[in-house]
């Protein structure tokens, strides 16, 4: 999905094509309903996945984006499983940060069972920092870009439980989130599939997604929630904003 030329409110950086929908899909749907502009930058095509192919996963991510109302989505096509957090890959991300100038970046979990997620979280965080340095030169369609740094980077929670610093109430959007996840039919439970069973393709996995959302929602008095961590203190001007 391309063609959007405006400024984004939130940009999600995701190691794999379904990470955004799985881990912060409810949050994205909620903010889209509030009129915010959301983009997703997938780092890899997920070509090492047990099920499906890179081509299938691209089509699934496009379908999910349309269902959600995502403004723009790109895939960097880094090597699944073997991409590194280095200057080369940081400089591949920076042009998107400077082009779309998101207020907030949502990135992979700081700790998880999948090594890609941890590397992607570090890659995203460092790219966001370096994007703000004017001596790093990047171009978009031949034009030199101005330095830009997002105001905040928050990390969603994935397979391993991490105590969140922020929880977003997604109760009104949980059903829609599950509907969006059904777009990734090659990856999740499908009784008609002839492909090998994977860690995420069992019925129990989707139950765990629902259970996690209940677990995160309960402490804030919500039916369902999605959690995020922050590397810095979160400041507010008005304590009543926290109610």
Domain membership flag for residue 131: yes
The per-residue pLDDT for range 105-142, each reduced to its tens digit, is 999 999 999 999 999 999 999 999 999 999 999 999 99
**Local confidence band at 190 (pLDDT 50, 70, 90 cut-offs):** confident
What's residue 179's pLDDT? 97
Backbone angles phi, psi at 25, to 5 degrees: -60, -40
The lowest-confidence range among 102-116, 173-187, 229-243 is 229-243
**pTM: predicted TM-score of the whole model, two decimal places:** 0.95
Cβ neighbours of residue 137 under 8 Å, at least 6 residues apart?
Answer: 144, 145
Give residue 238's domain range: 10-242
Of 23, 132, 13, 157, the C-alpha closest to 73 is 13
Task: Tell me the sheet residues that pair with 169.
Answer: 225
What's residue 189's pLDDT? 82
Q: Order of strands, edge to edge, in the sheet holding 38-44?
A: 72-78, 38-44, 10-14, 104-107, 152-156, 225-230, 166-169
The per-residue pLDDT for range 13-69, each reduced to its tens digit, is 999 999 999 999 999 999 999 999 999 999 999 999 989 899 999 999 999 999 999
What's residue 188's pLDDT? 87
Residue 166 predicted with pLDDT over 90:
yes
* 2-23: average pLDDT: 94
**Local confidence band at 3 (pLDDT 50, 70, 90 cut-offs):** confident
Residue 211 predicted with pLDDT over 80:
yes
CATH number at residue 226: 3.40.50.10320
Domain membership flag for residue 1: no
Domain membership flag for residue 214: yes
Domain membership flag for residue 34: yes
Domain membership flag for residue 105: yes
CA distance 109 to 42: 14
* 170-196: average pLDDT: 91
Domain membership flag for residue 157: yes
Q: How many domains does the chain have?
A: 1
Domain membership flag for residue 192: yes
Domain membership flag for residue 2: no
Residue 184 predicted with pLDDT over 90:
yes
**Local confidence band at 9 (pLDDT 50, 70, 90 cut-offs):** very high
């Amino acid at each position: 999905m391309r063609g959007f030329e405006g400024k984004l409110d939130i940009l999600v950086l995701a190691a794999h094509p379904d990470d955004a929908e799985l881990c912060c899909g409810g949050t994205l749907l909620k903010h889209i309903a509030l009129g915010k502009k959301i983009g997703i930058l997938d780092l890899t095509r997920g070509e090492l996945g047990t099920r499906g192919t890179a081509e299938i996963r691209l089509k699934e991510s496009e379908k999910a984006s349309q269902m959600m109302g995502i403004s723009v989505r790109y895939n960097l096509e880094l090597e699944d499983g073997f991409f590194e957090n280095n200057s080369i890959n940081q400089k591949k991300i920076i042009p998107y940060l400077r082009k779309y100038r998101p207020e907030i970046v949502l990135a992979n979990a700081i700790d998880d069972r999948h090594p890609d997620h941890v590397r992607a979280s570090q890659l995203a965080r460092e790219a966001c920092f370096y994007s703000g340095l004017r001596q790093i030169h990047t171009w978009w369609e031949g034009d030199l870009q101005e330095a830009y740094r997002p105001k905040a980077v928050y990390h969603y929670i994935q397979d391993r439980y991490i105590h969140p610093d922020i929880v977003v109430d997604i109760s009104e959007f949980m059903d829609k989130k599950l509907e969006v996840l059904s777009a990734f039919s090659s990856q999740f439970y499908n009784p008609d599939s002839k492909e090998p069973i994977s860690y995420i393709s069992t019925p129990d996995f989707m139950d765990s997604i629902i259970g996690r959302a209940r677990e995160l929602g309960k402490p804030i008095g919500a039916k369902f929630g999605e959690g995020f961590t922050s590397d810095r203190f979160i400041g507010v001007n008005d304590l009543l904003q926290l109610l």
